[in-house]
Amino acid sequence: MNPSASCRLPRGPSPAVLLASAAAGLISALALASCASAPRSLPPERVSPPPVPERIMGTGFAGADLMAAFLLANNPSLEPSRARDMADLYREEASLEGVNADVAFAQMCVETGFLKFGGLVTEDMNNFCGLGSIGPGQRGLSFPDPRTGVRAHVQHLKAYGSAEPLAQPSVDPRYRYVQPKGKAPLVAGLSGTWAADPEYGKKIAGMLARLYAAS
């Protein structure tokens, strides 16, 4: 037996192996640090609905798509084209008179039950706000087409909300009966004026809140 062989110490890893191991460790550490520092994807921020308007005059928040979808969600039997036409009409006519289209649209939803009608006023009358409807002997006014009916509604609403004159020729036969003009500039003021119901303004405000919550 070779005496020198019995006391020979085992050889350690070669420098090349040590260098490769160190490089691998450094790469792993850098990868972990990169993952830790990478920005985390956050859930989309929930957008709060706009505040319910208090005044009749002004600019609305709801677009035609939202209005039409809101009508269809609450009246599935309605033709989609009809829902979109009504949304466009309310936005166009309200803009001409400076009336908040959302308020007028919400009032229409309250008055017609989302265009289901079913009361004294029927769909063929194109009366979307109960104008002139008092009882069985006086069902209300009729208009030749939906645009004229929407225009009459908006003009009547402006009579309550503003003392400013109409921008369009009057098609509302009852416009002259609202005196003084601008007697109820707030939605809440329609209670006991437009309708005898003391909760009438709250019903419109509640409908507005539902509309905005659907956005």
Q: Is 195 helix (H, G, I), strand (E, B) or coil?
A: strand
Fill in the DSSP letter of residue 10.
P
Q: Are 191 and 197 in contact (CB under 8 A)?
A: yes
pLDDT at 42: 63
Task: Write phi, then psi, for 209 (nearest 5 degrees).
Answer: -60, -40
pLDDT at 5: 47
pLDDT, tens digit (0-9, with 9 covering 90-100), for 158-170: 999 999 999 999 9
CA–CA separation, 67 and 80 (whole Å): 11
Q: Are 140 and 123 in contact (CB under 8 A)?
A: no
77, part of any domain: yes
pLDDT at 36: 52
19, part of any domain: no
| Structure tokens given for 192 | 């006991």
CATH number at residue 121: 1.10.530.10
155, part of any domain: yes
Spans of the chain below 70 pLDDT: 1-46
- The number of folded domains in the chain is 1
Using CA atoms of 36, 39, 44, 48 in order, give the dihedral in degrees to the nearest 10: 110
50, part of any domain: no
Query: Does the predicted model carry a pTM greater than 0.85?
Result: no
54, part of any domain: no
99, part of any domain: yes
The residue range of the domain holding 207 is 64-213
* Cα 8 to Cα 4, 62, 91, 180, distances in angstroms: 6, 89, 96, 115
133, part of any domain: yes
pLDDT at 48: 85
* Cα 103 to Cα 29, 61, 139, distances in angstroms: 61, 10, 24
pLDDT at 6: 47
106, part of any domain: yes
